[in-house]
Structure 1
Amino acid sequence: MQDLSSLRAFAIPGQLSFRAGPGGLVFADIDNPDGSASIALQGAHLTSFRPKAQREPVVWLSEKARFAAGKSIRGGVPVCWPWFGPHASEPTFPAHGFARTVPWEVVDSGSADGATTITLRLVFSDATHAQWPHDTPVELRISVADALDLELTTLNAGEAPVPLGEALHSYFHVGDIAEVELRGLDGCAYLDKTEAFARKQQSGPLRFAAETDRVYVDTRSTCMIDDARLRRRIHIAKQGSASTVVWTPWGQKAAAMGDYTAEGWRSMLCVESANAADNALTLQPGEAHVLAVRYSAEAL
């Protein structure tokens, strides 16, 4: 893992710095005139983002999030890779893959047109190769301004086709989950995990009154979170993603997880840009795939 002294080469005075954070994790902090963000190098896990024009953050992080080597962080934008959900054949392998709990290294940084960028590359090891024997370099490029841009690029550098499932498991900050509407999925088919993956069809905007865990398939649409309490709309635009996952645990499930405050679940909604279920990918030798998202917010 990179130490702070080696990371100085990537620092940008007044915009990008590095620090030792809770649990011994190393963080990159971005702060420019238009936006701010923090990224844990473990997992390339973005833990915060706020445009300077917004009083409230766009990305949600649990007040009880745990920071420890090899452990996932509740909130932010976990990188689910190279599979989504449980592994297809090995139930002992971690759900959503290993990328969110292993070291990544900084390989580039820069500043242009008002945005500050940082690029991280996953560090493979004997432990990861035991779960994923394929030659697939993967990088995440993060760009911070008044909007947040994320680009997850996977290359199949091997000589055989490789299956791939992935998601940017983004937690968005809302005023009250019971007062938001999610638009952009009207008419889409979805798999309902709360009902044994029954296939259903969305009608109108989503409203939330109970645990929701759905994989919307064959959709490349932009989604919008309309937030009556915070009087704003969050735009979730994507490219290279054919699935959208929507999740809120609601009170009983959140209480059982241990890394939520008693009412913390009320202030978050996960809208994940993914390639999962029906839309899992196969990368041919030499093929690269880019999953890209842009998150922005405006007043209602």
Structure 2
Amino acid sequence: MTPLEHLNARRAIEGQLRFRANDQGLIFADIDNDFAQASLCLQGGHLVSWRPKDQARPVVWVSSAAKFAPGKSIRGGVPVCWPWFGPHETEAGFPAHGFARTVPWEVTDSCTLETGETEIALMLLETEQTRAQWPHRSRLEIMLSVGRSLKITLMTTNLDDHDFVIGEALHTYFEIGDIGEVRVTGLEGSEYLDKVDNFARKRQDGAIAFNGETDRVYVNTGAECAIEDARLKRRIRIAKSGSQSTVVWTPWAEKAEKMGDFGPGISGQGGWREMVCVESANALDNRVTVPAGQTHRLTVEYSVEPF
């Protein structure tokens, strides 16, 4: 029995959850239940897409030019940034946003909830590489519940005899009609560090609108946010706990062109116009100390309503 056959024998759910491999050898969990469709790549514990069945378009965006290859990050979906956010403090050669999004994870559980939603849990597999970059005994797990809403919990357990500090984010890409027409609400009055303006500390005045590259870390806020999308006539709600930072990001044209993996969008314009990142995080001022023997949980629930 191959590893894929073994995984399907142990963790597949008839009529809801199956595992498949692509031609690069990456394994995906495909979920299709009464409420939604979703796809999850076991590399990175990376949710690639989610579309409630009452939505014509996906809610979680993935680039048409995304690369699905071993050791490569995927442009779109919900990358897991851990155990640091942004560049490593002292090691320039370590990967930005940590290693969790490009290393193998294993499925530890799957089930159908009483509500009919599909739940799947994974754990990051430690390697010599991860231990070299993160010399603390720990366990990182992710649990996803797929239905009309999407609920994700990222759990960091400190198995060591000393405290350690983590930065983290669920770096979620949302599908939108056009970046020039959406607004993000819920962060009015919050302080943010503006990465486009040399990390200047500013305060948000009103809803967030976009007319150029935007890369902001809103700090000291556990507020619920919403993406108001007049073109797609929907509001995406983002409710979180265990997170005190929210990152809002769009690369705009020049940076997206340099990145090279945004691809064209449905409208024929650059794919970057049809996505925005609103990330639930603990970054910069809000990095988390996880005491020895304790578990920290970052939980986010995404839902959609008419707008």
TM-superposition CA deviations, 1:96-131 (whole Å, max 9, x none): 000000000000000011110100000001111000
2:240 is aligned to 238
2:166 is aligned to 164
- Structure 1, unmatched stretches of 5+, are none
2:298 is aligned to 291
RMSD in angstroms over aligned alpha carbons? 0.8
2:32 is aligned to 31
2:280 is aligned to 273
Number of residue equivalences:
299
Q: TM-score, normalised by structure 2?
A: 0.96
Q: What CA distance in whole angstroms lies between the structure 2 residues aligned with 1:285 and 1:260?
A: 41
Q: What CA distance in whole angstroms lies between the structure 2 residues aligned with 1:94 and 1:261?
A: 23
Counterpart secondary structure, 1:256: helix
Q: What CA distance in whole angstroms lies between the structure 2 residues aligned with 1:79 and 1:142?
A: 13
Counterpart secondary structure, 1:216: strand
1:65 is aligned to 66
Residues 22 and 266 of structure 1: CA distance in aligned 2, closer, same or farther (over 3 Å): farther
Q: Amino acid of the residue matched to residue 12 of structure 2?
A: A
Deviation at 1:299, TM superposition (A): 1.0
Is the contact made by 1:22 and 1:67 (CA closer than 8 Å) also made in structure 2? no
2:76 is aligned to 75
2:3 is aligned to 3
Q: What CA distance in whole angstroms lies between the structure 2 residues aligned with 1:265 and 1:125?
A: 34
Matches within 5 A, 1:146-225: 146-225=148-227
TM-superposition CA deviations, 1:251-299 (whole Å, max 9, x none): 0100000101251000000000000000001111011000000011111
Deviation at 1:22, TM superposition (A): 4.7
Counterpart secondary structure, 1:7: helix
TM-superposition CA deviations, 1:136-192 (whole Å, max 9, x none): 101000100000000000000100111100000000000000000000000000000
Matches within 5 A, 1:138-149: 138-149=140-151
Q: Amino acid of the residue matched to residue 73 of structure 2?
A: S
Matches within 5 A, 1:8-19: 8=8, 9-19=10-20
Counterpart secondary structure, 1:100: helix
Deviation at 1:6, TM superposition (A): 2.0
Q: Percent identity?
A: 58
Deviation at 1:23, TM superposition (A): 2.6
Matches within 5 A, 1:130-141: 130-141=132-143
Is the contact made by 1:110 and 1:118 (CA closer than 8 Å) also made in structure 2? yes
Q: Amino acid of the residue matched to residue 257 of structure 1?
A: M
Q: What CA distance in whole angstroms lies between the structure 2 residues aligned with 1:186 and 1:119?
A: 34
Deviation at 1:67, TM superposition (A): 1.0
Q: Amino acid of the residue matched to residue 4 of structure 1?
A: L
Q: TM-score, normalised by structure 1?
A: 0.98
